[in-house]
Amino acid sequence: MKLNKSEISELKDVLSKAENRSTEILEDLYSKLSLDEHVELFVDGAADLHSKTSGIGGVFYQNGEEIFTFSEFFGDATNNEAEYSALIKGIELAIEMNMAHLKIHADSQLVVNQVNGEFKVKHQNMIPLHKRANELLNDLESWEINYIPREQNTVADKLSKAGMMKGRNS
């Protein structure tokens, strides 16, 4: 079930009163509904063309505190395909968790510049990934995506490499 923005807003209002959060489930729901402010998402993809394995990873932070991570095997893909797939997975998870405002950080200049419209998407494999990322971004109330150096993306980098290793070890 997907709630629309007015339903989410109404639910937040009801749950904002402590007496309406009588169970742990309602407390957890209220916490998740409240995550939509100041959420940052760091994403990364990793690929090894020799072993034909790739992985994606990401980490969500709110007010500097880690709130959620993902790390998955992705299969045979290029590094750019893995980078886009990490971005897509991160946005999908943000939408599932009802996060409306997202500040995204990635260490792929290509992906960041393509999503921001500064680079054209030329490679045939990138076109559907770029399109999907933009469709998902349109479901958010607000977003921005920025390039960061790899050294500032170490957690997502480790998660993407761990995802790649899951495929190698299976």
Greatest mean pLDDT among 34-38, 60-64, 154-158:
154-158
Q: Is the dihedral of CA 132, 134, 137, 138 positive or negative?
A: negative
On whether both 23 and 62 belong to a single domain, the answer is no
On whether both 76 and 156 belong to a single domain, the answer is yes
At position 95, the amino acid (one-letter code) is I
Residues 159-168 have a mean pLDDT of 90
On whether both 16 and 92 belong to a single domain, the answer is no
Query: pLDDT by residue (tens digit) across 85-112?
Result: 999 999 999 999 888 889 999 999 999 9
On whether both 41 and 88 belong to a single domain, the answer is yes
On whether both 21 and 93 belong to a single domain, the answer is no
On whether both 71 and 110 belong to a single domain, the answer is yes
On whether both 58 and 131 belong to a single domain, the answer is yes
On whether both 18 and 81 belong to a single domain, the answer is no
Element (H, E) at 12: helix 5-15
Quote the number of domains for the chain: 2
CB of 81 closer than 8 Å to CB of 54: yes
Domain with 118 in it: 37-168
* Burial profile 43-67: b = 16 or more Cβ within 10 angstroms, e = fewer: bbbbbbeeeebbbbbbbbbbeeeeb
Query: pLDDT by residue (tens digit) across 35-55?
Result: 546 789 999 999 998 889 999
Output the pTM of the full model.
0.79
Q: What CATH number corresponds to the domain at position 131?
A: 3.30.420.10
